[in-house]
């Protein structure tokens, strides 16, 4: 089961709408994104500081404004509790709050460390994260893929199929060695033996 989460940032509508068996959460003003996309959420969750009011909706969970988790992180935890292992997050980038974009990138790392796969969609770009594992991206004739270390040094990093390959390398959080690699019409496989990688795909 896939968990769809809609946030209050710049909205990119899903190419494929949620299936009936998927779990859909609107996080605060992500409610507006759902309405624009014609998607009915299963849960409306948040402190409603962004939306400014609590909509008339039968399944609302209101949380305090002062809390450790962002609304998107709370939505991720709800999805994990329901057994979801694939997460698609829309409206989690851009807008006027770069701090929330960074928080949502960290949320991808949280999912990776908890055995799940998260995808964060923004206008013209998509991010995901892997931990002690591998990911193969489908072939594209053009486009950019960037690979960043999140946390302690990422070791045994291998990148195959891209313009700039890497074999059993080390990526660190303080030097962007993996930025701006390129698709060349074939699949790209990214593997890390130890550590966590943030992967960005750009049009």
Domain range for 35: 2-123
Number of domains in the chain: 2
Q: What is the 3-state secondary structure (H, E, C) of the chain?
A: CEEEEECCCECCCCCCCCCCCCEEEEECCHHHHHHHHCCCCCEEEECCCCCCCCCCCCCEEECCCCCCCCHHHHHHHHHHHCCCCEEEEECCECCCCHHHHHHHHHHHHHHHHCCCEEEEEECCEEEEEEECCEEEECCCCCCEEEEEECCCCEEEEEEECCCCCEEEEEEECCECCCCCEECCCCCEEEEEEECEEEEEEEC
pTM of the model: 0.94
Q: Give 37-90 pLDDT, tens digit per residue.
A: 899 999 999 888 888 888 889 999 988 888 888 999 999 999 999 999 999 999
Q: Which of 95, 123, 151 is the last residue of a domain?
A: 123
Looking at the fold, whether 28 and 119 belong to one and the same domain comes out as yes
């Amino acid at each position: 089961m896939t968990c769809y989460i809609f946030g209050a940032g710049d909205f990119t509508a899903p190419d494929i709408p949620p299936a009936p068996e998927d779990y859909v959460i609107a996080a605060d003003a992500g409610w507006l994104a759902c309405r624009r996309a014609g998607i009915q959420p299963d849960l409306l969750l948040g402190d409603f500081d962004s939306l400014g009011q609590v909509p008339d909706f039968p399944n609302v969970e209101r949380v305090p404004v002062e809390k450790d988790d962002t609304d998107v992180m709370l939505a991720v935890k709800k999805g994990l509790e329901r057994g979801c292992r694939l997460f698609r997050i829309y409206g989690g980038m851009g807008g006027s709050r770069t701090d929330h974009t960074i928080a949502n990138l960290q949320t991808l790392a949280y999912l990776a460390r908890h055995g799940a796969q998260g995808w964060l969609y923004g206008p013209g770009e998509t991010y995901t994260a892997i931990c002690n594992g591998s990911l193969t991206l489908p072939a594209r004739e053009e486009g950019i893929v960037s690979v960043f270390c999140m946390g302690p040094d990422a070791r045994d990093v291998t990148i195959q199929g891209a313009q700039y390959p890497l074999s059993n390398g080390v990526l660190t959080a303080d030097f962007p060695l993996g930025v701006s690699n390129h698709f060349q019409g074939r699949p790209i496989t990214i593997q890390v033996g130890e550590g966590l990688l943030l992967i960005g795909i750009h049009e």
